[in-house]
Every structure is written in C-alpha cells, then in structure tokens.
Amino acid sequence: MRRKWWLTLFVLAAAVGCKMGPDYSRPTISTPDSYRELAPDQQAQNAQSLGDEKWWDVFKDEDLQGLVREALKQNYDIRIAAERVLQAQAVVGITRADQYPFIGAGASALNNRIPATKINGPVQTGPMQVNLSLAWQLDFWGQYRRATEAARAELLATEWARKAVISSVVSNVATAYFQLLELDLEMEISSRTLQSRKESVRLVQIRQTGGTGSLLDVRQSEELMYTAAAAIPSLERRIAQEENVISILLGRNPGAIARSRKLADTQITPSVPAGLPSSILERRPDIQSTEQRLVAANARIGVAKAAFFPQIQLTAAAGYQSTALTSLFTGPAGFWTFGAQLAQPIFTGGKLRSNLHLTEAQKAEMVLNYEQAIQQAFREVSDSLIAYKKNQEFTEQQGLLTAAAVDAVRLANARYTGGVASYLEVLDTDTLAYDAEIALAQAQLQERLALVQLYNALGGGWQA
C-alpha cells in the first residue's frame, strides 16, 4: 500500500506540476491610427482593407486567375513549404511523446553450456524470458510541456511561412503577367510605328524622285524606320524570357503563355481601402510567422530553467522467466521490479546557466525581429499607398502628353507635305511621340504593379 501511495503521489505531481519560465505575452507595439497617405474620407472608412479581399476578387482577369490557380497547385516553392509543415508536425509528435511513459515488451531465449570442472560435469541451461518494461521521466517542472509548446509554435510559424510563400507566388505571377502584357503593348506600338515609318519612307522616296525632296530626307526617314525595327527583336527576346519566368512560377517547363487581354483592358480601381494599421499584425503571414517564433523562443526559456531542478524517473518491469517453456507462465516463474530515480545537477561548469542566458538572448532577438517586421510592414504599406496614388496621377498626365505628341506628328507631317517645314521637324515629333507611347505603356504597368505591391503589403493573397 505504501508503494501505491508513493506511485499515486508521483503521478499527481506529474499531472499538476508547474511549468518553469514565463508565459507568453505579446510585446507592446506602437501602431499609428491611420496611414499618412490616406485622404480624410478614406480614414473615416479605414476599417475595411484591400488585404481582406480574395485574390480572385482583386485580379479579375480570367487569364491571370487561371495562371494563379495553376501556380497554387504546381509551384515548387509552395510544395516545398507544404512539406516543411509536415516536417514540423512530425517534430511536434516527437517532442510531445517525451511527456508520456515508454512501454516496451521483450522476449529472450538463451542456451548456455558450462564446461566440466573437477567438481561438476558440464552444465547446460536454457533460460527463457518474456517481460514488459516501463520508463517514465516525470515532467514535474514542465520541461517537456514547454518543449512541446515551442514545437507547436514552430509548427504555426511554418504554416504561416507557407502562407507567406503563397502570397508571394500570387504577387509574383500577377507581376510577371502584367509585365508580359506591357511588353505586348510595346510590341504593338513598335510594330505599328514600324509600318507607319515604312510608309513614310516610301512617300519621302517618291518626293525625292519627283525633285521635291532631298536624299537627306530619305536617310532621316530610314533612320526612324530602322530604329523601330531594331526594337522588335529586343522585345521578342524579353517577351520570351518573361513567359519563361511565368512558366517556372507555374511549375512548368519554359513555354508560351496564353493571354487574351491588353494591358489597358485590365481593371484597376481609382482608390483602395488600406484598413487599420493594427490589423496588419493579424493579417500579414510574415509577421504572424515571426511572432510564433517568438512564442517558441519564450517557451525554450522554460526548458532551460527546468534543467536546473531534479529529474525524476520511474522504472518498472514485470514478466516471466523459466528454463522450461512448459512452465514459463506457471508457478514461481513470474517476477517484477519497480524503482524511482532522482538526479540533481550539482556542478556543470556553468553550462546550464549559459544555456539559460542563451535562450533569454534568443528571445530578446526575436522580440526585436518582431518589432522590426511590423515597422517594415508599415513602411511597405505606406510606400505602396503613395506609389499607387502618384502612379495614377503620372499615368493621367502621361496620357495627355502622348495625345499631344501624336497630334504633333500629324501636324508636322502636314507642314512637311505642304513644304513649309523640313523633315527634321517630322523626325523630332515622331521620335517624341514614339517615346511618349512607350512611356505611357510603362506608366500603366507601374500603376498595376503598385496595386499588386499594395495588396501584398496589406497581407493579401494567401486566403484560400
């Protein structure tokens, strides 16, 4: 009965034992009430956020949606991240198992022959044994529970890291897709300009043959034509390379990418809600992952503190042993043992204390990483908001400039045909118009890339 009471006390102590180390509490973070780039009417409705929207509601292009869906299934980075989650789940199971007793079974049969002596003749024995053993390291100080807490936090960090990879892949696919559409638009502009300049060369040659033009005019018109022609091979190269980028994001071998829309046809909203700055802490996967690693570092302090205290282990074994198989489970063949062991570190050369200092310093580092990640997130949202707004303004002005440059080409050609201007005027206005159209295409691209960057900065894109 005395042994049973001691065993009961040990079990209860293990069940209700304390946990060493501090319980986790989120560090106090100073967050602004709103973003400086928001207008007063937007600040009044800042509870909503673009980051809460699903990616298919933000990117309404059917071709882009199809590419993103394929990337989410086949992208290697996402698949690697998923395998890391499975690894973290296994680590939790391995760590948690230390809290429970180990029970094992065994069986043995041994045949021994002792040589003859002056007193006895040869002796031959064949003992057989079956047994069941138990070993239990009591988690009285919460060492294993803190280790399990750290492993679970690492699992959550890995899961949030997987979501961060998903968000990054969605943004990368959208970015590459818009860049591909912009290159298509540049190719369209260059091809149209080349055809126009070929026609201009033909007309100038006719004027030179008729005596109303000069050979200089012919050479200058050819210069314009060759400039447009030289841009096409470079654009073809960049288009093929951008298709290869998208193919790799989709988990394919390099190949062509289907698209049916032009860049200007892709929808873009004039303004987007940014939401409350504090909501980024809950929405951005990188911040969540960093916080979970902070939770794990905090739990490891408890593991390090528990190592200073006595470790209590219970052991037990029971079974049967006999020299004859027929009497293995009968008579006095049964046996059992029970024991308890306590081990207290006395002198470790400062190892335990240094390990505690290490875990405390690691937690302090993770706190700084967490605070830095939040500040970086605020900066990214702020930069993206101002980029989105100013890119829209720039695109509007660039559109007006392009319209004026195109009309200037029409007027210059009319003046040259009427004989009141040289071809140099046509050359200058045509070059400016071509550059303006290319700049407008690039401005439209930057406007869409700013939307992608803002969506990613607000923590969107990983939602299933």
How many Å apart are CA 80 and CA 162, to the nearest integer?
9
Residues 6+ apart with CB under 8 A from 404: none
pLDDT at 1 over 60: no
* Domains of the chain, start order: 17-102+141-311+351-457 (1.20.1600.10)
> What would you measure as the largest C-alpha separation in the chain, in angstroms?
140
Residues 6+ apart with CB under 8 A from 320: 129, 130, 131, 328, 329, 333, 334, 335
pTM of the model: 0.85
Average pLDDT, integer, range 280-300? 93
Per-residue pLDDT tens digits for 171-207: 999 999 999 999 999 999 999 988 888 888 887 787 7
Higher pLDDT, 48 or 456: 456
Average pLDDT, integer, range 44-72? 86
How many Å apart are CA 249 and CA 166, to the nearest integer?
11
Per-residue model confidence (pLDDT) at position 185: 94
Contact present, 22 and 427 (Cβ < 8 Å):
no
How many Å apart are CA 231 and CA 190, to the nearest integer?
7
Phi/psi at 356 (nearest 5 deg)? -65, -45
| Percent of the chain residues topping a pLDDT of 70 | 87
313 closest CA partner among 13, 18, 92: 13
Question: Residues 149, 151, 155, 160: is their CA dihedral positive or negative?
Answer: positive
Pairing status of strand 102-109 against strand 311-322: unpaired
In terms of residues, how long is the chain?
464
Q: Which amino acid is at 266?
A: T
How many Å apart are CA 24 and CA 149, to the nearest integer?
10
Average pLDDT, integer, range 52-77? 92
What's the chain look like in SS3? CHHHHHHHHHHHHHHHCCCCCCCCCCCCCCCCCCCCCCCHHHHHCCCCCHHHCCHHHHCCCHHHHHHHHHHHHHCHHHHHHHHHHHHHHHHHHHHHHHHCCEEEEEEEECCEEECCCCCCCCEEECCEEEEEEEEEEECCCCHHHHHHHHHHHHHHHHHHHHHHHHHHHHHHHHHHHHHHHHHHHHHHHHHHHHHHHHHHHHHHHHHHHHCCCCHHHHHHHHHHHHHHHHHHHHHHHHHHHHHHHHHHHCCCCCCCCCCCCCHHHCCCCCCCCCCCHHHHHHHCHHHHHHHHHHHHHHHHHHHHHHCCCCEEEEEEEEEEEECCHHHCCCHHHEEEEEEEEEECCCCCCCHHHHHHHHHHHHHHHHHHHHHHHHHHHHHHHHHHHHHHHHHHHHHHHHHHHHHHHHHHHHHHHHHHHCCCCCHHHHHHHHHHHHHHHHHHHHHHHHHHHHHHHHHHHCCCCCCC
pLDDT at 424 over 90: no
Phi/psi at 186 (nearest 5 deg)? -60, -40
pLDDT at 331 over 70: no
The region of weakest confidence among 29-43, 72-86, 185-199, 292-306 is 29-43
Per-residue model confidence (pLDDT) at position 16: 47
Per-residue pLDDT tens digits for 263-274: 888 877 777 888
Split at pLDDT 50, 70, 90, the class of 5 is very low
Backbone region of residue 442 per phi and psi (left: phi > 0; alpha: psi in -120 to 50; beta: other values): alpha
pLDDT at 422 over 80: no
The region of weakest confidence among 70-84, 118-132, 209-223, 226-240 is 118-132
Q: Which amino acid is at 462?
A: W
Per-residue model confidence (pLDDT) at position 280: 86
